[in-house]
Structure 1
Amino acid sequence: MYIGSTDSRGLMHCLWEIIDNSVDEALGGYGDRIDVVLHADGSVEVRDRARGIPVDIEPRTGLSGVEVVFTKLHAGGKFGGGSYAASGGLHGVGASVVNALSERLDVEVDRGGKTYAMSFHRGEPGTFDGDGPSSQFRPFEKSSELTVVRKAPRGVTGSRIRYWADRQIFTKDAAFDLGELEQRARQTAFLVPGLEIVIVDQRGEEPIETSYRFDGGISEFADFLAPDAPITDTWRLTGTGTFTETVPVLQPTGAMVPTEVERECEVDIALRWGTGYETVARSFVNIISTPKGGTHQQGFEQGLMKTIRGQIETNARKLKVGANEKIEKDDILAGLSTVLTVRLPEPQFEGQTKEILGTPAVRNIVASVVSKELAAKFASSKRDDKAQTALVLEKVVSEMKARISARTHKETQRRKNALESSSLPTKLADCRTNDVEQSELFIVEGDSALGTAKLARNSEYQALLPIRGKILNVQKASVSDMLSNAECAAIIQVIGAGSGRSFDLESARYGKIILMSDADVDGAHIRTLLLTLFFRYMRPLIEAGRVYAAVPPLHRVVVMNPGTKPNETVYTYSEQELHTLLAKLTKSGKRWQEPVQRYKGLGEMDADQLATTTMDRAGRTLRRVRVQHAEAASSVFELLMGSEVAPRRDFIVTSSERLDRERIDA
């Protein structure tokens, strides 16, 4: 119920609970650094420089503050309007739940010039004879004790928590994911400007240490997340609102009494529109990510829709919007990168995993802030604001018109019958079969290769589309430039499933798209440009595993056999493979024709050679293009193919040492 599952996801959630307690302190202005250490023995340690967990005796329970926090539900500083104005915790159950699910948990607190320590075994306080969870444990018999272990330097405060997850609870393969931890640390550093989070992984042979600190806040976060070039600056929308709610509050008698309290909700949003059509949205409540949204996300979309629709209605004549053309949510969200944060005491979540915010009053508060702030931006008399708001309205209207025209085109295509003439490009050499699963489209580099490929293909199920030279780099170009480019338009038209948001995988005319370019630097560049087109505008094809790269051979070795026995032809696909083959032939006393043929391009092969090595299903090799991590791939495409030159230059300079000169075809 509290951590979602007992696999790696649940294990990571326990770690988030401990880290978030330290982050809550930083949010309150206490402490500017958090260290997370993944130890080699499977334990994890979280250190902070905040105020330290209270060590005084809590009068209602007679226990120390440390023991109350780690053993009692609903007893954290976040509960009942206590220590925090806003926190990520839900009624203070995090630390106590992690303690209950740990085979051993050690906590040290620096306060008042002393270092206090306490240990727990599956939630029960006591003492261990040695280090690690396997050492002998003795529970306290009469009363538990928070011991002073040493002096702390004057003025130093903070907490250190180290725990070993209970392997009787968690699955055997449950492990801490360094990549996920780093991503969360980066995200938190964006959300809490000035906070440094250091991750140290000591599980390998060499320790890995990474540090994150960002002073630009969520504006910097929105720029980091955005996958495209901007058409607006990063706008900040901020505001507050109040509401009342009834919550149970712990009384001195120990009873929980429903009490009506007034809450304040702070709203802070960073957003920017870009040239692309992808929507990147992140929402947070007190720095806790809410990947499934909630009332704050609903309020944001409500305020955004109301304002943009109102602006377009006001400027309908100027924007050439007809009375029957209605703006939809996807038209507004296209190309929008946004980070939405709200802060409020004791937020209500749907479940302890905190993926959906449920506090109803937040919706109207966020909608009101967005409507007010955006309306002010559109009414601004500043030159930059006027230019940017005009671009936003033009983009939204163009997205609407593209959606409507795509739907109309699709309906028209459905009405076409087989007797009508095809509007496909004349240079397409189509196949005969109508079975999409069996059909293959080869995108071929150059007309010379096309001539050979026509003779080498099986025309029953293999179609050919030649492209001339290097196509447009769509990572830098706008949508209109891409559509007006003859090569890009031909590829989209031949595949027949549309592009961008209107792409329909079910409408694709071919089961496999195979990129067949020369085995040289130019061929690799052309393949990269084509993959950029597919990645940005036809990504479902890649996600479905339907995009491939052909693997043509580099060398043709004719092995000479003695007597009347026919010579044998062997193809190799790398320099290393060639040298291995020649060494093997020399060892066995066989000779080969000199010189060994080195293919510079597909056009050098005859039809039989191309069919045997690259196109015939019986003997060819294909490399499937996969997108395992879309965000990582997107950042690589932006680095290598985007409009920002400086990061690409830095990448080339810093990576030059790893270059293998033997792989350059020169």
Structure 2
Amino acid sequence: MATRSDYDARHLSVLEGLEAVRKRPGMYIGSTDSRGLMHCVWEIIDNSVDEALGGFGAHITVVLHADGSVEVQDDGRGIPVDIEPKTGLSGVEVVFTKLHAGGKFGGGSYSASGGLHGVGASVVNALSARLDVEVDRGGKTYRMQFRHGEPGRFTDTGRPSPDAPFAPFTEAHELDVVGKAKRGVTGTRIRYWADRQIFTPDASFDLEALLRRGRQTAFLVPGLRITLRDARRLVGPDGERLGESEEVLQYDGGISEFVEFLAPDSKVSDVWRMHGTGTFHETVPVLDSRGHSRVTEVERTCEVDLALRWGTGYDTTMRTFVNIIATPKGGTHQSGFEAGLLKSVRDAIRVNARKLKAGEDKPEKDDIMAGMTAVLTVRLAEPQFEGQTKEILGTPAVRAIVSKVVATEIAAKLNSTARTEKAQAALILEKVVSEMKTRISARKHKETQRRKTALESSTLPAKLADCRTKDVAKSELFIVEGDSALGTARLARSSEFQALLPIRGKILNVQKASVSDMLSNAECAAIIQVIGAGSGRSFDLASARYQKVVLMTDADVDGAHIRTLLLTLFFRYMRPMVEDGRVYAAVPPLHRVEVVRRGKANEMVYTYSEAELHRVLAALEEQGLHYKEPIQRYKGLGEMDADQLAETTMDPRHRTLRRIMMEEAGSADCVFELLMGSDVAPRKDFLMSSAHRLDPEQIDA
């Protein structure tokens, strides 16, 4: 039996160099599945991006080869090939074999970079079955090869392969000169094969993820051209072999173009671009000439670059970056942005309170950021992040700098005397005040948004014919077109769980109207009040008074238009109802065929389209059955009696409902803006280009 004295120094393991990376890869790349594989790709690409950030390169090419390797090429300065004095190794070997080594520690090579830990290239090398690096520098092309992080030479008989014979260096670790480079041409080419003994069998490169991040990087570094080439020739879903694909990403407009790309709605303002800088002092350890660490106070410069616009929607799209590193969880730069924005907008509303009818109320952050799309980037040397994942910026001084820049620049825009900016500022302030009033109104009427008892029901619209059940899961609200349909529906419904709300004609087109116009419209306000869950950002799905909302309009062109207007209202201001699949369209019949039965009561057959009517009539003729002429064509729900309406449209046992689904919010928003928005020209083009698809017989005459 082992005793405590058996545990001594000889039991301790000391992992040297890259051996620790291969032993515990998750500590360096997070995981060994597809995410870890993609992390390795971006460790190499980020080095090339840092060269472009420093102004030393403009092109990056990434190739996914059919043999499973990845190649990254850039036209930067090229990795140094001279001897590093402390190690006696070439710069290339230092970068790829030594942890925490690189050009981002001394402060002279990169003023602001993405990778600051010095483990990127060496970790990728350690986790590769083979890595080849070629450097163009000084008129020559240098090459060095590695297997599992160990430098040496492969002997290739054909195409490069990690299975080729490999001879590690024993004494001299020399760079091979394998060609000549044109005068003035510099750059680096890295090709590596991930070690499949390290990564899981199902780990694979995600082209879509590469495209997303590549596009993001191209937006953040204006003028940088990123080429992504997929040469894997994968097998498609139908079994066919796919060819090579290539995407070239270059956006000279920078983050202004990024904002336009991200914006989900039509614009209220143009994209506003703002810049600013600030300095702060930071105490950091600095290595002296003898390698000793000394605490020194240094002055840092923080550059702020912001692009934002307001749109007609109420969702906020915010992207923040530090030295092109995405910070999805924000940090001191985002909190500074929000503080500066809040201060400047509040000041502008206070000055124009009488004109805006804002009263004494103050807008909150959510009121101001409703419908806003913004991209914020800051650049500074050696940023402090909370955690290795770099999702939150922690440098405290950045908050005050960003807040001051944003407050100054936003105030200048809102107080501008230029005609265009003055008009846009007025629209923005009006939108913010409308959002503020909506929030305050929602808070004041929170109690009335819940299901009322019979004693309290007077707060709901008088025209609502409510149901008796208090079980929301069983309740249904039918929005009917006009009082004539209401009279029939009142007799046809089951008052236990079916409520009725009539609307008069066509409601307001809320895609064009402002929030205040929508709230002042009697029909829109009644629908929002009856559903009882608020509107816009304050909409609370759990407070909805009905499980199903059924739009029951006539089966004609006007009925279809009313249904479209109602769907626009739900999409813009009660979207969670649509996303949860709780909005339906009733499907009333178009025709009633009365079939004559000898010796029996006549049978009623309902059809829902012209094609179905012809099929039914043809089937009756084949069976030798007769039907009464003329066949009834329903022009509206009011033409049905209560029994017919219940049987065809309202009774859950027999009716047909069409659930309104929204698979992709962005596409749906584009469709609503095209069909219902204020911009006429695109709608005209759409109607003219699509006219040939229309069947004239489907239009009710």
Normalised to the residue count of structure 2, the TM-score between the two structures is 0.79
Q: Write the deviation string for residues 230-276 of structure 1: whole angstroms up to 9, x where unpaired.
A: 44443332211112324455667666665543221111112233444
SS in 1 for 2:446: helix
- Structure 1 residues 110 and 509 mapped into 2: Cα distance closer, same or farther (>3 Å)? same
1:312–1:393 Cα contact (<8 Å) kept: yes
Distance 2:594 2:451 in 1: 55
Give the letter for the 2:117 counterpart: H
Query: Secondary structure at 2:306's aligned position in 1?
Result: strand
Deviates more, 1:56-65 or 1:288-297: 56-65
Please state if 1:273 is matched with 2:306: no
Distance 2:266 2:370 in 1: 13
Q: Which residue of 2 aligns with 1:15?
A: 41
C-alpha distance 382-611 of structure 1, shift in aligned 2 (>3 A): same
Quote the offset at 1:305 in angstroms.
Answer: 2.3
- Cα pair 1:557 1:593 within 8 Å, conserved: no
Distance 1:339 1:379 in 2: 22
Matched, 1:221 2:258: yes
Which residue is equivalent to 1:396?
432
Q: Secondary structure at the match of 1:51?
A: coil
Partner of 2:163: 135
Q: 2:321 is paired with a residue of what secondary structure? A: strand
Question: Following superposition of structure 1 onto structure 2, how do residues 407-446 of structure 1 map, counting pairs within 5 Å?
Answer: 407-411=443-447, 418-444=454-480
1:71 partner letter: T
SS of 1:181's equivalent?
helix
* Counterpart residue type for residue 210 of structure 1: E
- Alpha-carbon offset, residue 309 of structure 1: 3.0
Deviations 1:306-351 (A, max 9, x none): 333344445555655555x343222222333322111112222222
CA drift at 1:283 = 1.2
Paired residue for 1:289? Answer: 326
- Listed as ranges, the matches of 1:471-486 within 5 Å are 471-486=507-522
Q: C-alpha separation between the residues in 1 aligned to 2:129 and 2:266?
A: 50
Aligned match of 2:335 = 298
- Equivalent residue for 2:213, pick from 162, 171, 184: 184
Q: Which amino acid aligns with 2:572?
A: R
Shift, 1:291, TM fit:
1.3
Letter in 2 for 1:147: D
CA–CA distance in 1 between the matches of 2:209 and 2:610? 36
Counterpart residue number, 1:54 = 80
Whether 1:31 aligns to 2:57 is: yes
Q: 1:443 to 1:249 in 2, by over 3 A?
A: farther
**What secondary structure sits across from 2:338 in the alignment?**
helix
Alignment partner, residue 82 of structure 1:
108
What are the superposed Cα offsets for residues 384-437 of structure 1, whole Å, 9 maximum, x if unpaired? Answer: 444444444444334333322221122466797531343444554433211111
Residue 267 of structure 1 aligns to a residue whose secondary structure is strand
Alpha-carbon distance in structure 2 between the residues aligned to 1:606 and 1:206 = 62
The corresponding residue for 2:383 is 347
Report matched runs for 1:493-504 at 5 Å. 493-504=529-540
Q: Which has the larger radius of gyration?
A: 2
Distance (whole Å) between structure 2 residues aligned to residue 574 and residue 16 of structure 1 = 58
Secondary structure at the aligned position of 1:422 is classed as: helix
Instruction: Using the TM superposition, give the Cα deviation of residue 596 of structure 1 relative to its aligned residue in structure 2, in angstroms.
Output: 14
C-alpha spacing 1:538/1:11, structure 2 compared with 1 (3 Å): farther
**2: distance between equivalents of 1:565 and 1:322?**
69
Aligned amino acid, residue 271 of structure 1: L
1:177-226: per-residue Cα shift (whole Å, max 9, x none)?
Answer: 44443333333332222223333344451444333332222233333333
CA contact (8 A) 2:634 2:640 kept: no
Confirm whether residue 240 of structure 1 aligns to residue 277 of structure 2: yes
Which of 246, 257, 271 lines up with 1:209 in the alignment?
246
Deviation at 1:285, TM superposition (A): 1.1
SS at 1:86 equivalent:
coil
**1:337 maps to which residue?**
373
Distance in 2 (alpha carbons) for counterparts of 1:118 and 1:598? 86
Identity of aligned residues (%): 71
Higher relative contact order (CA 8 A, sep 6+): 1
- Give secondary structure in 2 for the equivalent of 1:293: coil
Q: What TM-score do you get using the length of structure 1 for normalisation? A: 0.82
Distance in 2 (CA, whole Å) between partners of 1:110 and 1:249 is 32
Matched AA of 1:532: T
Question: Is the 1:303–1:366 Cα contact (8 Å) retained in structure 2?
Answer: yes
Counterparts of 1:296 and 1:307 in 2: how far apart (Å)? Answer: 17
3-state DSSP class of the match of 1:401? helix
Determine the C-alpha separation between the residues in 1 that align with 2:697 and 2:403.
56
Shift in Å, 1:620? 5.8
Tell me the CA shift for residue 81 of structure 1.
0.8
Name the residue aligned to 1:198.
227
In terms of mean alpha carbon deviation, does 607-616 or 195-204 score higher?
Answer: 607-616
Residue by residue over 1:32-73, the C-alpha shift from the partner in whole angstroms, topping out at 9 and shown as x without a partner, is: 333333445554443333333333333323333333333333
Letter in 2 for 1:17: E
- Whether the 8 Å contact between 2:113 and 2:381 is mirrored in structure 1 is yes
Q: Deviations over 1:368-392 (max 9, x none)?
A: 2123333444554445444444444
Shift of 1:16: 3.3
> In structure 1, what is the equivalent of residue 190 of structure 2?
161
Q: How many aligned residue pairs are there?
A: 659
- Contact persistence 1:640–1:648 (CA under 8 A): yes
- Per the alignment, in what secondary structure is the counterpart of residue 437 of structure 1? helix
Q: Which moved more, 1:643-652 or 1:303-312?
A: 643-652
Structure 1 residues 483 and 63 mapped into 2: Cα distance closer, same or farther (>3 Å)? same
- Residue type of the partner of 1:29? G
In structure 1, list runs of 5 or more residues that go unmatched.
none
* Aligned-CA RMSD value: 4.4
Mean alpha-carbon deviation: is it higher for 77-86 or for 173-182? 173-182
AA in 1 matched with 2:395: T
More displaced stretch, 512-521 vs 261-270: 512-521
Distance verdict in 2 for CA 1:276–1:333, change over 3 Å? same
Give secondary structure in 1 for the equivalent of 2:455: coil
What is the CA distance between 1:639 and its match in structure 2?
Answer: 4.5
* Residues 602, 610 of structure 1: 8 Å contact kept: no
Map of 2:136 onto structure 1: 110
Q: Are the aligned partners of 2:591 and 2:634 in contact in 1 as well (CA < 8 Å)?
A: no
Aligned residues of 1:475 and 1:643 also touching (Cα < 8 A): yes
Say whether the 8 Å CA contact 1:559–1:570 is kept in structure 2.
no
1:308 aligns with 2:341: no
State the SS of the aligned residue for 1:67. helix
For residues 139 and 605 of structure 1, the distance between their equivalents in structure 2, rounded to whole angstroms, comes to: 90
**Do residues 65 (structure 1) and 91 (structure 2) align?**
yes
Q: SS of the counterpart of 1:367?
A: helix
CA-CA distance at 1:100 after TM superposition: 3.7
- After the TM superposition, which residues 584-663 of structure 1 pair with which residues of structure 2 at under 5 Å, given as runs? 603=637, 615-618=650-653, 624-627=659-662, 629-646=664-681
Gaps of 5+ in 2: 1-26, 237-241
The question of whether the paired residues in 1 share the 8 Å contact of 2:508 and 2:521 is answered with yes
Q: State the alpha-carbon separation in 2 of the partners of residues 598 and 110 from structure 1.
A: 84
Judge conservation of contact 1:556–1:569 (CA < 8 Å) in 2: yes
Partner of residue 698, structure 2: 665
Give SS of 1:475's match. Answer: coil
Which of 410-419 and 179-188 deviates more? 410-419
SS at match of 1:351: coil
Counterpart in the other structure of 1:97: 123
